[in-house]
Structure 1
Amino acid sequence: MVNFNVRFPDDLHARVRTQAAADRRSINSEILYLIEVGLAAVLADAGSPGGDPTTPALLPEKPDSSSA
């Protein structure tokens, strides 16, 4: 696994921290999840007719982690 350092603006860090707590995940796991979902959405949009890979796609809803 690659160790990668990134700087976040304070407001974005707070949003990720809040979402991670709501999903009962670590901040690191939440960031990885969001990257995976975002990349999957971009790939799906790029493959659709008229899809523009330079335009961000809307993220799908996350599964409810409280039932696990």
Structure 2
Amino acid sequence: MTKNVNVRFPDDVHQAAVDAAAADDRSLNSWLVAVVRRAAAGQEGAGCVGSAPDGSRANGVATD
């Protein structure tokens, strides 16, 4: 079973997520599901393939 959720992202966050999904050869939806699953499980760096183009963490999970 799946649920639909509408989420608003700032343009830069959206682009970082699109880029990270592409780098992981996933759709944006599939990448976001993986990120949320890992974050919900408490895994640091959830779904992050690397850094976003601006140097920030693509998944928005702080590591400090």
TM-score range, shorter chain: 0.5 to 0.7
Tell me the matched-pair count: 48
Structure 1 segments (4+ residues) deviating >6 Å: none
Structure 1: gaps of 5 or more residues = 43-57, 64-68
Name which one, 1 or 2, has greater alpha-carbon Rg: 1
**Deviation, structure 1 residue 61:** 6.9
Structure 2: gaps of 5 or more residues = 50-64
Q: CA RMSD in A?
A: 2.2
Higher helix proportion (structure 1 or 2): 1
- Mapped to 2, the partners of 1:62 and 1:4 lie a distance apart of 21
State the TM-score, normalizing by the size of structure 1. 0.61
SS across alignment from 2:12 = helix
Q: What is the aligned-residue identity percentage?
A: 38
- Mapped to 1, the partners of 2:38 and 2:16 lie a distance apart of 17
